[in-house]
Amino acid sequence: MRFQSNIAVSEESYAPIKLDRNFPVSTPHFEERSSTPDIKPHIHDCLEIGYCYDGTGVFIVEEKILPYKKGDALLINNHEVHITAANPGGVTRWGFLNFDQIALLSANAGSDERFLEADSLSGAGFENIINCDQQPEICSTIKSIIEESAEKADGFQSMIRSRVWSLMVMLHRMHADSRHQAVIPGRHEKLNRITPALKYIAENFSRDISMENLAAACNASESNFRKLFHKAVGCSPKDYVKQLRLKAAAVLLTNSRQSILDIALSTGYATLSNFNRQFLDNYGICPRVWRKSKRSS
């Protein structure tokens, strides 16, 4: 794999959020993100929620590659390094908000305080992107929290408290029967070493990518970089890029009118035949059938 190496890649940043002690909910920020975002992989010290108002793309959270579309929502734990990018050539619009659910609600939680725990809402098996088709109530609640905080109408603090409480309960109910491993403490040290590579891949997966340049971005030899990457992410860099491309393509097949050839080219495939073959191997059906099945469902 090869790619151009003229884009600067920087280390992961810790981005603490300053919250009011009396009402620990941030003012939301609304952002456009392109396929080459100017933000680097980062981590906060509190929960973050988001709502996608337009566009399609991928969120990279730790080792997870999570595609999203308009109407989907997001929950990021304070344990998880993350970055997002729009699909190649596109732009997405998001609203984001941070809060400290324990400081906000614990005084009135009583015996239900267990719902304020958020450590379990993380890890390899937790889907940080909440699909609006599968969980419309959760997505609507997240959107309403963000917009209540932006509009600050009379009684907005009480409304936000009630909706954050509802959100936490719904999230725990949604994952009550799931079996997944929460983020392992100390794991960030492994991810820190490869975050320059993760950022570069997120921005440039539609191009050819060289192992040499990925390794150089992380100040490592190629052989050491492969080992570091596998320890942090659980797969090889080549397999990671392949999954990122295929997931981005699957979102575009479902949510855009681009031709299959244009989607293949925009997600890093030099030929349609190679794209069709890898898509079939990964999903068990060809792109054309995938698109037809998603549009008829």
Strand spans (E) along 91-209: 91-99, 129-130
> Residue 295 is encoded by which pair of tokens?
């549009």
Model confidence at 144, in pLDDT bands (50, 70, 90)?
very high
Please tell me whether residues 30 and 134 are part of one structural domain: yes
pLDDT of residue 14: 61
- DSSP letter for each residue of 205-244: TTS---HHHHHHHTT--HHHHHHHHHHHHSS-HHHHHHHH
Q: Is 120 exposed, middle or buried (0-12, 13-18, 19+ CB in 10 A)?
A: middle
pLDDT of residue 10: 36
Q: What is the span of the domain harbouring residue 64?
A: 13-174
Model confidence at 6, in pLDDT bands (50, 70, 90)?
very low
In a domain, 157, yes or no: yes
Model confidence at 99, in pLDDT bands (50, 70, 90)?
very high
CATH number (domain holding residue 290): 1.10.10.60
Model confidence at 133, in pLDDT bands (50, 70, 90)?
very high
**CA 148 to mean position of chain CA atoms:** 23
- Residue where a domain stops, chosen among 174, 206, 226: 174
In a domain, 6, yes or no: no
Domain count, the chain: 2
- Poorest-confidence range of 36-40, 98-102, 160-164, 191-195? 36-40
pLDDT of residue 175: 78
How does pLDDT run across 235-292, given as a tens digit for each residue?
Answer: 899 999 998 899 888 888 888 888 999 999 988 899 999 999 999 999 999 999 988 8
pLDDT of residue 4: 28
Structure-model confidence comparison of residues 225 and 38, the more confident one = 225
Is the pLDDT at 160 greater than 70? The verdict is: yes
Model confidence at 61, in pLDDT bands (50, 70, 90)?
confident
How does pLDDT run across 207-236, given as a tens digit for each residue?
Answer: 888 999 899 989 999 999 999 998 888 889
pLDDT of residue 8: 31
In a domain, 182, yes or no: no
Is the pLDDT at 3 greater than 50? The verdict is: no
Please tell me whether residues 128 and 272 are part of one structural domain: no
Please tell me whether residues 21 and 164 are part of one structural domain: yes
Please tell me whether residues 125 and 212 are part of one structural domain: no
pLDDT of residue 13: 62
Is the pLDDT at 197 greater than 90? The verdict is: no
CATH number (domain holding residue 97): 2.60.120.10
Percent of the chain with pLDDT over 90: 43
Contact 130, 74 (CB under 8 A): yes
